[in-house]
């Protein structure tokens, strides 16, 4: 990405969580309601603006995994549409800020990883039951060098 500052949500609990995460360099906010979270920064597919979102994460080998659930609504979250257009992203996990490349998990591997993510956040199963779309799982592979 670049040195430009991302746009963050300005209201509500998501904004409070994100602000706490950033201001404490991940000491407050990395664990949210007992689960690990990271900050995902994507580039807006239409605006070109950097946008930052806190998300629950799991692991798939060395990669991080996030769930594009949007609470089970019929539409994908904007951050997912953004990274589908531009898969080079930045993530912050605790105090570590890293470049990553995003890919959507599919096929048989989706079921395995979905089970792991639903163990971390059981409401994901409820979200999937609410929608006809298969909720995407996104693998964030850290880019070294």
Report domain extents, the chain. 12-142
- For 42-92, the pLDDT digits (tens) are 999 999 999 999 999 999 999 999 999 999 999 999 999 999 999 999 999
- 72 CB burial (10 A radius; 0-12, 13-18, 19+): middle
Pairing of the two strands 88-93 and 96-105: antiparallel
3-state secondary structure of 121: coil
**pTM of the entire structure?**
0.92
pLDDT band (50, 70, 90) for residue 9: confident
Q: Which two tokens stand for residue 80?
A: 């997912």
- Judge whether 52 and 39 are in contact, CB under 8 Å: yes
CA distance readout (Å), 47 to 41, 68, 88, 135, 136: 14, 20, 16, 25, 23
Helix axes 123-130, 108-120, angle to 10 degrees: 130
The CATH fold of domain 12-142: Pnp Oxidase; Chain A (2.30.110)
- For 90-128, the pLDDT digits (tens) are 999 999 999 999 999 999 999 999 999 999 999 999 999
Q: How far apart are CA 120 and CA 122, in angstroms?
A: 6
């Amino acid at each position: 990405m670049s040195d430009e500052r991302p746009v963050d949500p300005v209201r509500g609990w998501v904004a409070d969580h994100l602000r706490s995460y950033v201001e404490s360099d991940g000491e407050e906010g990395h664990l949210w309601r007992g689960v690990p979270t990271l900050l995902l920064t994507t580039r807006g597919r239409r605006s070109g603006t950097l946008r930052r979102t806190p998300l629950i994460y799991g692991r798939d080998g060395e990669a991080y995994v996030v769930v594009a659930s949007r609470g089970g609504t019929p539409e994908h979250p904007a951050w997912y549409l953004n990274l589908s257009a531009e898969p080079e992203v930045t993530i912050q996990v605790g105090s570590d800020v890293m470049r990553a490349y995003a890919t959507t998990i599919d096929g048989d591997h989706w079921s395995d990883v979905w089970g792991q993510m639903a163990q971390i956040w059981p409401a994901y199963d409820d979200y999937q039951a609410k929608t006809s779309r298969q909720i995407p799982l996104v693998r964030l592979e850290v880019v070294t060098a």
